[in-house]
Amino acid sequence: MLFTNGVGALQVIVNCYAPFDGGFVMLRKPRRGWWYLPGGKVEPGESWRLAAMREFTEETGLHLEDAHLRGVYEIHIAAGPEEGEKRRIIAQFVGRGASGKLRTVHREGTLAIVTKLELPRLPMDEGDRLMLLHAIAAEERGDDRVFFGSFSYDAEHRLLRHEMDPEGYPLEPLFARSQEGDVL
């Protein structure tokens, strides 16, 4: 789905964090080798929630009973020599009742079950990591709030700045730490 805001097109992307089999499903795409939550573009006339559930099922082979909105994020990626400026909205959902047999390969990349303890070491977009950490923290607290945020990247997709609302949402104690401070 695309919107125009007088400056350019704004693309809506959905993704879905869904607890499954002791972790949650992520997709490793070959272009950068980065990990992403299952998701994709919203079709014309499709609701964001149904798009998130459809994309999750298409990519993972799993089915969801339901999904609810967890975050809405504005993304800006600066223009580079090969590509123009990009503006996106990411609508992040939390899936409930994931069931079925997980496929391990999809045309988009390789799928795997990941745990929150693996997140700090996974190669991934730093903004996506922050969005996911907030989703996990809220889920673990039974907090149904919806997060909002803004993320700006340079042309090489390095995170330059971000804002989260609510600001300062506690992400600890998401991870166990050793006495030296290393994530276990």
**What are the pLDDT digits (tens) for 116-138?**
999 999 999 999 999 999 999 99
Nearest CA-CA partner of 59 in 123, 105, 21: 105
CATH number of 76's domain: 3.90.79.10
Q: What is the pLDDT of residue 34?
A: 97
For 97, residues 6+ apart whose C-beta sits below 8 A from its C-beta are: 64, 65, 66
For 173, residues 6+ apart whose C-beta sits below 8 A from its C-beta are: none
Q: What is the pLDDT of residue 7?
A: 53
Residue in the block written with tokens 């996974």: 122
Range of the domain at 49: 2-165
- Of how many residues is the chain composed? 184
C-alpha separations of 60 from 70, 79, 121 in Å: 20, 32, 22
Nearest CA-CA partner of 104 in 21, 14, 13, 15: 21
Q: Show the low-confidence residues of the chain (pLDDT under 70).
A: 1-8, 173-184
pLDDT, tens digit, 9 for 90 and up, residues 138-169: 999 999 999 999 999 999 999 999 999 998 88
If you average pLDDT over every residue of the chain, what do you get? 90
Angstrom distance (rounded) from CA 70 to CA 145: 7
In a domain, 38, yes or no: yes
pTM over 0.75: yes
In a domain, 173, yes or no: no
In a domain, 181, yes or no: no
In a domain, 179, yes or no: no
In a domain, 132, yes or no: yes
In a domain, 75, yes or no: yes
